[in-house]
Chains A and B, each alone.
Chain A
């Protein structure tokens, strides 16, 4: 694989007009990379916006993913309202996070976003009431093993995922954006205090622009599974494109990153958003955040790891070091999320339980 081919998805995200110049092998490579990175529906939207008419074979795949994306978006819109109704009686507003927030707030980052669940943030002091209210409305806890329950309830920043008994939809109820055990502990009360109610349904709210971006950043830098790293980076690029039209955004972002203790993750994320997706970061912001950079040898290592992790991850776009880089980031993400002894214990238990996490049996 040459550098040119491995960058196909990245090139399309950077400049969708290149879609008009792709030959058939180029399309095939792009579709595979995009599907693997969970960005196929976004490529579809970008192609439509750029007025590109793909050749018949690729066009059918974009049509397929469009059907799925629209169905998921309809479902998230419905679920958001069901959640609002469930929590209205206890007076807890539903603060939507990530994809559901982009969608319901009409953010550009909703473009071609696929969903597996809805993430919400509620005050920690109300978490038991929230769980009870959701149970009253048909959601039930999953992950029944005692260890999993303890993992979530004692150490994590969220309840075990709750699934609706009839609709089978899943909601992740968070009380913070990073785990209880993490080194960095951005203040949830501060995030909730700054949240913005939606105009057409004030029972629903989303994080303020700078906070929304910072949450997307922590999701990128603290996630163990890097398979959606490029998707997260693309979300960040779209959010910045949209927010940066407001001159107050960059100063506010720097201020909030300092208040919430998220300067280092923001430094990493902006660096790669600029290098990979060409996001324009003002000089003054880059200089300010460079003070939060790790010491030079660590910074070099981190750059090498991220550069691999953020490549499209199908077999053709990886190199010898990719598995090692992914494993290093997997361990690092856990390292950031848990103190060493707890981490060692958790990884051991996860390793012994691996067989329980297999996907479904072959059917049909």
Chain B
């Protein structure tokens, strides 16, 4: 059944009981939490996701809760636990939902070593995927978010999951995380985007999520072949500029942004080299999202004509 088919009480009962099963991309999570922010966030952003029964095999058992003891009252924190262990520092305040999202990402990129996983947004149009590897702050999520609201399908805003055996990309459609000024930019650009509350005081500044479009969630098992690698850079006031990038530098950008390149040895290199081989690569600087999305839609249309 879909998460949206669960009554609010039933959703909370699962979160506080054996765990809500949540299928997202290549994994099923069992999520436990007593926090309202987590229950509300899941009800809002995962409405279209499949929630299989409690007897379904779960890949990861996770929880987001407040630590016990003094910390419950004195400068309250939230912590993420994977099988009862905390992979990162608790965070202050009401960061329950962002914490869940970071934790789910962590589970995927630190365990799914049968894939090569990049820290990169990935979207698809006409069967061709556009990979946006870039460090935080470069505007990759903003650009991906803009394109998602102009005809592109969201595979993921954080994780590009490459299957080395097939060379294709595995979607992980989940809420899209935006920071600081990007939040208002996308609200203005796509009024139909369904945003959750803005959470302040995270290590990244203000963070808000919008729900993945229903179509992206429905097509979660539909893989895509990579076609473009684009290193985006938001520069205030800059004109829209797409500059070809050498294959060597594109490869290095992928390696620099890979989570688990080191565990794949020669096969990791070959996987990324093959990927670069089949892609066109560019550097891209922009300031106006409308111009940027128009440019990539022309790129996709001309690729479709050539095919």
Residues of A within 8 A of B (CB): 24-25, 27-28, 32, 35-36, 55, 57-58, 60-61, 63-65, 67-68, 71-72, 74, 314-315, 358-364
CB distance from B111 to the nearest CB of A (A): 6
Which of A55, A58, A67 contacts B263 (CB under 8 A)? Answer: A67
A65→B263 CA distance, assembly (Å):
10
CB distance from A330 to the nearest CB of B (A): 17
A64→B91 CA distance, assembly (Å):
29
Near A by CB (< 8 A), chain B positions 234-264 give 262-264
Verify if B61 is at the interface (C-beta below 8 Å from A): yes
Interface pairs A-B: 5 shortest CB-CB? A67-B113, A57-B57, A71-B263, A362-B102, A315-B84
Verify if B87 is at the interface (C-beta below 8 Å from A): yes
A182→B50 CA distance, assembly (Å):
56
The answer on a CB contact under 8 Å between A361 and B89 is yes
List 21 A-B residue pairs with CB atoms under 8 Å apart, sorted by A's residue number. A32-B61, A35-B83, A36-B85, A57-B59, A60-B114, A61-B59, A61-B111, A63-B114, A64-B113, A67-B114, A71-B265, A74-B265, A359-B86, A359-B89, A360-B87, A360-B88, A361-B88, A361-B89, A362-B102, A363-B106, A364-B105
Verify if B99 is at the interface (C-beta below 8 Å from A): yes
B61 nearest CB neighbor, chain A only: A32
Interface size class on chain B is 20 to 34
The answer on a CB contact under 8 Å between A364 and B119 is yes
Verify if B109 is at the interface (C-beta below 8 Å from A): yes
Q: Please, which residues of chain A bring their CB within 8 A of the CB of B103? A: 362
A353→B289 CA distance, assembly (Å):
47
Q: Please, which residues of chain A bring their CB within 8 A of the CB of B105? A: 364
A314→B61 CA distance, assembly (Å):
11
A314→B85 CA distance, assembly (Å):
9
The answer on a CB contact under 8 Å between B57 and A359 is no
Verify if B181 is at the interface (C-beta below 8 Å from A): no
The answer on a CB contact under 8 Å between A67 and B80 is no
Residue from B28, B88, B91 whose CB has the most chain A CB atoms within 10 Å: B88
Q: Please, which residues of chain B bring their CB within 8 A of the CB of A24? A: 55, 57
CB distance from A69 to the nearest CB of B (A): 9
Verify if B302 is at the interface (C-beta below 8 Å from A): no
CB distance from B60 to the nearest CB of A (A): 9
Verify if B158 is at the interface (C-beta below 8 Å from A): yes
Q: Please, which residues of chain A bring their CB within 8 A of the CB of B88? A: 359-363
Which of B84, B89, B112 contacts A64 (CB under 8 A)? Answer: B112
Which of A28, A35, A60, A364 contacts B106 (CB under 8 A)? Answer: A364
Near A by CB (< 8 A), chain B positions 159-185 give 159
Q: Please, which residues of chain B bring their CB within 8 A of the CB of A58? A: 57
Residue from A24, A64, A364 whose CB has the most chain B CB atoms within 10 Å: A364
A359 nearest CB neighbor, chain B only: B88
Q: Please, which residues of chain B bring their CB within 8 A of the CB of A60? A: 59, 114
Which of B55, B85, B203 contacts A362 (CB under 8 A)? Answer: B203
**Contacts known (A35-B83, A362-B102, A364-B102); A28 close to B58, Cβ less than 8 A:** yes
CB distance from A340 to the nearest CB of B (A): 29
Q: Please, which residues of chain A bring their CB within 8 A of the CB of B114? A: 60, 63-64, 67
CB distance from B236 to the nearest CB of A (A): 25
Q: A55-B57, A315-B84, A362-B80 are in contact. List 8 more A-B contacts (CB 8 A).
A: A24-B55, A24-B57, A57-B57, A63-B114, A67-B263, A67-B264, A363-B106, A364-B119
Which of B57, B89, B109, B263 contacts A28 (CB under 8 A)? Answer: B57
**Contacts known (A315-B83, A315-B84); A362 close to B89, Cβ less than 8 A:** yes
The answer on a CB contact under 8 Å between B59 and A71 is no
A74→B106 CA distance, assembly (Å):
24
Q: Please, which residues of chain B bring their CB within 8 A of the CB of A67? A: 113-114, 263-264
The answer on a CB contact under 8 Å between A362 and B264 is no
Q: Please, which residues of chain A bring their CB within 8 A of the CB of B86? A: 359
The answer on a CB contact under 8 Å between A71 and B264 is yes
Near A by CB (< 8 A), chain B positions 55-96 give 55, 57-59, 61, 80, 83-89, 91
Near A by CB (< 8 A), chain B positions 87-138 give 87-89, 91, 99, 102-103, 105-106, 109, 111-114, 119
**Contacts known (A28-B58, A364-B105); A71 close to B262, Cβ less than 8 A:** yes
Q: Please, which residues of chain A bring their CB within 8 A of the CB of B159? A: 364
A55→B86 CA distance, assembly (Å):
29
The answer on a CB contact under 8 Å between A362 and B113 is no
Q: Please, which residues of chain B bring their CB within 8 A of the CB of A68? A: 113, 263
CB distance from A225 to the nearest CB of B (A): 12
A360→B91 CA distance, assembly (Å):
12
CB distance from B34 to the nearest CB of A (A): 16
Q: Please, which residues of chain A bring their CB within 8 A of the CB of B59? A: 57, 60-61
A361→B80 CA distance, assembly (Å):
11
**Contacts known (A24-B55, A27-B57, A60-B114); A364 close to B89, Cβ less than 8 A:** no
Q: Please, which residues of chain B bring their CB within 8 A of the CB of A315? A: 83-84
A359→B103 CA distance, assembly (Å):
14
**Contacts known (A359-B88, A361-B88, A364-B105); A64 close to B58, Cβ less than 8 A:** no
Q: Please, which residues of chain B bring their CB within 8 A of the CB of A61? A: 59, 111
A35→B203 CA distance, assembly (Å):
30
